[in-house]
Structure 1
Amino acid sequence: MEPLFTPEQLAEIHAYHLPHYIRAAVNPFARFALLALMLGVLVRPFFRMATAAAAGLERRFGFLRTAPVSRAFFSAMDRLWGESGWGAAVIFALMTDLFVKLVYAPVDIWFAYTLEHQHGMSNYTPAAFARDMLKGHLLGGFAIAALVIGLYGLARRTRHWWWVLGVPVALLMLVSSALDTYRGRLYFEQEPLPPGPLRTRMTALMAQADIPFSDVLVEKTSVASRRIQAYFAGQGPTRAIVLNDVILQELSEDEVLAAVAHEAGHVQEQKWPGRIASSLAVVALLFAIDRMLRRAAARNWFGTSRFADIRTLPLLSLLLSLVLLLGAPIAGAFSREREREADRFALRLTHDVDAFRRMLVKAARVNKMDPDPPRWVVLKGMSHPPVGERLADLPAP
């Protein structure tokens, strides 16, 4: 069998991945150092600036509190927060988030734009990249504002808030995958795959696997990336097969079917145990946050004056970063095993080892996958087994 990569391709892949490996090694320390800086030095001045900014906005736009249309909004926000002062809290949260984003911006832009262009992995124009980056930051800012009002507001008004908030959040997590088909449309145009042999064969393959779906969509990611991608999105009546336009350009019909068969393996997984475990973990995390907020209030950490003081928000970020860091190796191990089982499912479904092997090889070449990454990178939380291992696990054709 021909080697997966030529020596020249392998050198290019190593040059592409080396910065990512360095970042993976350094980033946890940099993240914790930045959060320690915020907690030790910046929380108090940021809170003073947020309070002053909120007071200035109140003086300038206070009339909106009594205006016919906007007064309902302000009244609702005051009730959610439990008292006045939610504006300063939201501004403080957005300031801390903006500070972190500005610190990381040079690195994020270099990795997401410069490095990708250097190695021929991106089709982004500067304007399109800036637009999507801004869109992501705006969505993130909205999520942070909702977190502040929802979590801190509820915690200030209800003693067992972690239970009151945790249960609906857990239930939302159980059903949120039904919305997956709509998330991709925030960034890329999608259209149905035209009728033809590929759609016909894909429909027959899914009927064989007993997987109902609503449509086959083509996601036009080539405006931003040259990577191959296929996935299932949604659940039940919203489930759709999504192929990006790059995969249709790079792979043959048999190879596309092999990729879809692999993704079908994930549809057949027993997802409920994992979803239930994740939901319980969210409730447990909220309980841990409650304990931490109470300790911070009792000891007046960072100048806090009461329970659920917004000045503890960077401390929550520190706790969440620690949980994610410690949980990544475990989550990665489970994810890699699911990928191996999806490979086995695809082979049982298609009975075409050769097409599956070709699909993996082409995907590895187009996506510049490292066939043998450092073991610590794998154990740190890689979601897929190295492509070299996946190819070695294939039965002889």
Structure 2
Amino acid sequence: MEPLFTPEQLADIHAYHQPYYIRAAVEPLVRLALSALLLAVLVRPVYRGAGAAAAALERRFGGALRTAPVSRAFFSAMDRLWGEPGWGTAIFFALFIDLATQLLYAPANVYFFYVLEHRHGLSNDTPATFAWTWFKGSLVGAIALTALVVGLYGLARRVRRWWLVLGVPVALLMLVASALDPYRARLYFDQTPLREGPLRSRITALMRKADIPFSDVVVEKTSVSSKRIQAYFAGQGPTRTIVLNDVILRELAEDEILAAVAHEAGHVNEARWPGRIASSLAVLALLFLIDQALRLSARRGWWGVQRAGDIRTLPLVSLGVFLLITLAAPVSGALSREREREADRYGLNLTGDPGAFRRMLVKAARVNKMDPEPPRWVVLKGMSHPPIGERLAALDAP
């Protein structure tokens, strides 16, 4: 059987992945060091700077904004939610902390997501498109962070069981949020319907065989920034969409694309509700733990905090969330890898074409530069997919 990679390809893959493995080992320590710096040194001066910035903007624009028809309603709602002056300071504090973190990580992010990707032929980004994508991601993150500050800390200041008031609707929203996936993806890449023809007809027939309804098959134009192969299902029920990127259409034959779609169809047939319910309950538990951390900070008077809901506890909350995610990653990764194995088995049974399935995996591994045998600690740390070598070996298992 033809080897998965030539020696030259394998050397290139190892050179590509080695920096990522080093980062995976070092990054938790960097995050802990950054959190220690924030909590021990920077909370008070950053909070003073946020207060000064909010006061300056209030003096410069507050009169006009508080009287204009649209902004007046916003300011009035914020004042009522917060219960007293200070919400501007809270938002600036959170944004300043986020900006400082992004600036600290900027050199590493440019190296990993631009320099390294170009060096190994995986990116089509220009400096301008890379900067634009980064800006959009940062803007979306800033909006989400502002909503977190307003929702979580605003409620924590006014409602004793805020974690329940906030957690229940958030948990319910999580149960249906995946229906919005097809629309979120369009923030970053253009999508067009797959043209009528043999491939679309074969995908439709395959989904009819699998008894999976869907609304459309679309082509996502990711080649503007990436050379990787990608296929996935987005949305649920009436919004379910089969997404193929333009790279997969160029690199794979029709039967190989069908194998990729069949694998993704395996995820549609997973028992999703237990996981979603567990995730929703986990969010409630997380918010309760955050509430306890806020109250402990107020009792101890850390960083000058005198009441629950003080924004100065945000770095502590961020540290706690990071530790919980890090500790849960091995378990969630193991569950994810098992789901991927099941999806492989499902897709193989659906197509009945092991040759096409193998060719699909081999081509995807070559184009996406997958390490066939990553270090075991990397896998156990939380890899979402089994190593490609293991997936190919499973095809030959009796």
Please report the TM-score for the alignment, with normalisation by the length of structure 1. Answer: 0.99
Q: CA deviation at 1:87?
A: 0.3
Q: Map of 1:110-189 to 2, 5 A cutoff?
A: 110-189=111-190
Q: CA deviation at 1:68?
A: 2.9
Number of residue pairs the alignment of both structures matches: 397
Aligned equivalent of 2:35: 35
Q: 1:345, 1:70 → 2: CA distance? A: 53
Q: CA deviation at 1:112?
A: 0.4
Q: 1:290, 1:168 → 2: CA distance? A: 17
Deviations 1:192-235 (A, max 9, x none): 00000000000000000000000000000000000000000000
> Is the 1:163–1:283 Cα contact (8 Å) retained in structure 2?
yes
Q: Unmatched 5+ residue regions in structure 2?
A: none
Aligned equivalent of 2:15: 15
> Is the 1:230–1:243 Cα contact (8 Å) retained in structure 2?
yes
Q: 1:184, 1:389 → 2: CA distance? A: 30
> Is the 1:353–1:395 Cα contact (8 Å) retained in structure 2?
no
Secondary structure of the structure 1 residue equivalent to 2:69:
coil
Q: CA deviation at 1:396?
A: 6.8
Q: 2:183, 2:396 → 1: CA distance? A: 37
Q: CA deviation at 1:306?
A: 1.7
Deviations 1:281-336 (A, max 9, x none): 00000000001100000001122122111000000110010011001000000000
Please report the TM-score for the alignment, with normalisation by the length of structure 2. Answer: 0.99
Aligned equivalent of 1:377: 378
Secondary structure of the structure 2 residue equivalent to 1:227:
coil
Aligned equivalent of 1:58: 58
> Is the 1:353–1:396 Cα contact (8 Å) retained in structure 2?
no
Secondary structure of the structure 2 residue equivalent to 1:69:
helix
In the alignment, is residue 326 of structure 1 matched against residue 319 of structure 2? no
User: Where in structure 1 do 4 or more consecutive aligned residues deviate above 4 Å?
Assistant: none
Q: CA deviation at 1:50?
A: 0.4
Q: Unmatched 5+ residue regions in structure 1?
A: none
Aligned equivalent of 1:193: 194
Aligned equivalent of 1:249: 250
Letter of the 1:123 counterpart = N
Secondary structure of the structure 2 residue equivalent to 1:308:
coil
Deviations 1:320-365 (A, max 9, x none): 1001100100000000000000000001101000000000000000
Secondary structure of the structure 2 residue equivalent to 1:185:
helix
In the alignment, is residue 206 of structure 1 matched against residue 207 of structure 2? yes
Report the identity percentage.
Answer: 74
Q: 1:259, 1:158 → 2: CA distance? A: 49
Q: 2:70, 2:22 → 1: CA distance? A: 52
Q: 1:182, 1:62 → 2: CA distance? A: 35
Q: 2:237, 2:70 → 1: CA distance? A: 39
Aligned equivalent of 2:307: 306
Q: CA deviation at 1:270?
A: 0.3
Q: CA deviation at 1:98?
A: 0.3
> Bigger CA drift: 281-290 or 61-70?
61-70
Q: 1:297, 1:353 → 2: CA distance? A: 61
> Bigger CA drift: 69-78 or 171-180?
69-78
Letter of the 2:293 counterpart = M
Deviations 1:138-184 (A, max 9, x none): 11001000000000000111000001111100001000000000111
Letter of the 1:231 counterpart = Y
